Amino acid sequence: MKTASVGSSAIKMWSQEKQVKKIALLHILFYCDINCRLVECRLFLYIFLFFFVVSFCLLFISSLARK
């Protein structure tokens, strides 16, 4: 019975840790979005947007090439 309670507490801790990581990631993203005073933060956003636009363009071109 003791191992079952240890296992369930480990699962609870893991899900809480996962939730904390999610909240931290959201906090970082919103902080970057709202207060883009940090150079690294701004650079990260620009790189992310650049890769997003490039991948979208490549997808669009490849779909046109198939037709």
Looking at the fold, whether 2 and 31 belong to one and the same domain comes out as yes
Band (pLDDT 50/70/90 cuts) for residue 1 is very low
Residues 44, 31 within the same domain: no
Percent pLDDT > 70 in the chain is 36
Indicate if 42 and 62 belong to the same structural domain: yes
Q: Report CA dihedral (38, 44, 46, 48) to the nearest 10 degrees.
A: -150
Residue 34 has pLDDT above 70, yes or no: no
2-34 and 39-66 helices cross at what angle (nearest 10)? 90
Shared domain for 42 and 31, answered yes or no, is: no
**pTM (predicted TM-score):** 0.38
12-31: pLDDT as tens digits:
555 555 665 666 666 666 66
